Amino acid sequence: MADKDKFFNKYYRAFVIPLGFLLYVFVSYIINPFSRYWEYVSRLSGGRQLVELFIALIISWMIAEISLATARWMDKWMPWERQPLKRSITQTIVVLVAVFIALNVLDYISMLLFPPPPEVQELFSKVDTWQFFVVCSLVSILISAVHTGNYFLKRWKNSMLEAAQLQLDAAQLKETAMQAQLQSLKLQLDPHFLFNNFSTLSALIEEDPALATSFLEKLSRVYRYMIANLNSDVISLNQELNFIAAYIFLIDIRHGSNVNISVNVSDANKDKGIPPITLQLLIENAIKHNIASAQQPLYITIYDEGDDLIVKNNIQLIQHTLPSTGLGLENIRKRYALLFEREVAVNDTQSAFQVRLPLVDF
């Protein structure tokens, strides 16, 4: 699209100047088809007629340049969006004054350099002179109108493209949000997840009823958070951390010291925004793909640096595991791109996997 605009702007004058010439001749003839100028031109030799044609082209070129320059200058100084009526009146007046001054200067210079013989001067009356100025003024207004029409046509085209892009972005955002919901529900309602948590709860009921009660309360909090935020685009980091605290409690009971999760976030950043369920997806991915044992504990650290939240874990990949689909991280990236036009930075080394999440004001 940009290449087309450059091509059009490059050859814009090739269209406008011939148009100005045709309008100049046509309007001159329509206004006064019996002008002595036409009789004068018809009596000239072929060479002189070409000279008259060249002069008319020069005049048309000058009118076109003045009209286009005035319109483009006013596009910056007085845009159409602010005061369209005032812009229209002002542009017309400025164009007419500029063309009038330019024509007088051109006429003065031509009289000095190429003074016509007395018999030619006698052919033209003051009416012919004013008719010439009127024609040039009309042509300048018409060229200015063509430029204005082209301007509004491009604005309409751009607005249509922007509207289409907004609709596409909205559709993509809706699809991504649905994917996040499905991914989240899949993680939480996965039979293995339910089986593991219910097995843990069942064992705790007999061994430590008080701890079992806390475990059940945290498990219900996790599900309430999931259900409450399925349709949310962004929440405060403080809300996400409160949810993660309950989620970490479940992981501690299930994995013990095999998985160590630490959170160190400044209060200044807790009021900033983050897409919901982001931290849970990253924690689940870390546990899913890495060994977590007494001999090889998994360390997950959540901390902030400036306006970014960082989730980092050591790498000790599980062998013979199914290849990662990357849906969780890709979902987070898409949501950041569509919601905030921000990028999620990933630093994957041999020893650590780090995800940098921008925090946003909302």
Would you state the structure tokens that stand for residue 302, as one six-digit string? Answer: 């959540």
Confidence of residue 7 (pLDDT cuts 50, 70, 90): very low
Q: How far apart are CA 148 and CA 161, in angstroms?
A: 20
CA distances from 125 to 33, 43, 302 (A): 15, 19, 90
Q: What is the CB neighbour count within 10 angstroms for residue 271? A: 12
Give the DSSP H or E segment for 197.
helix 191-207
Overall average pLDDT of the 330-354 stretch: 88
What tens digit of pLDDT does each residue of 18-70 get?
766 777 777 777 776 666 666 666 666 777 667 667 767 777 777 777 777 77
Overall average pLDDT of the 94-105 stretch: 78
Contact between residue 99 and residue 8 where contact means Cβ atoms under 8 Å apart: no
Q: Residue 290: phi, psi to the nearest 5?
A: -125, 150
Domain segments of the chain: what residues? 2-168, 190-358
Picking from 318, 322, 219, 236, the residue whose alpha carbon sits closest to that of residue 279 is 236
Q: Residue 354: phi, psi to the nearest 5?
A: -130, 135
User: ∠357-359-362 over CA atoms, to 5°?
Assistant: 145
Would you state the structure tokens that stand for residue 23, as one six-digit string? Answer: 């309008």
Q: Which fold has domain 190-358?
A: Heat Shock Protein 90 (3.30.565)
Would you state the structure tokens that stand for residue 353, as one six-digit string? Answer: 């996997």
The pLDDT value recorded for residue 109 is: 73
Residues forming beta bridges with residue 59, ordered by sequence position: none
Residues forming beta bridges with residue 312, ordered by sequence position: 301, 354
Q: How far apart are CA 315 and CA 286, in angstroms?
A: 8
What tens digit of pLDDT does each residue of 221-249 get?
887 887 777 667 889 999 999 989 988 99
Q: What is the C-alpha end-to-end distance of the chain, expressed in Å?
A: 34
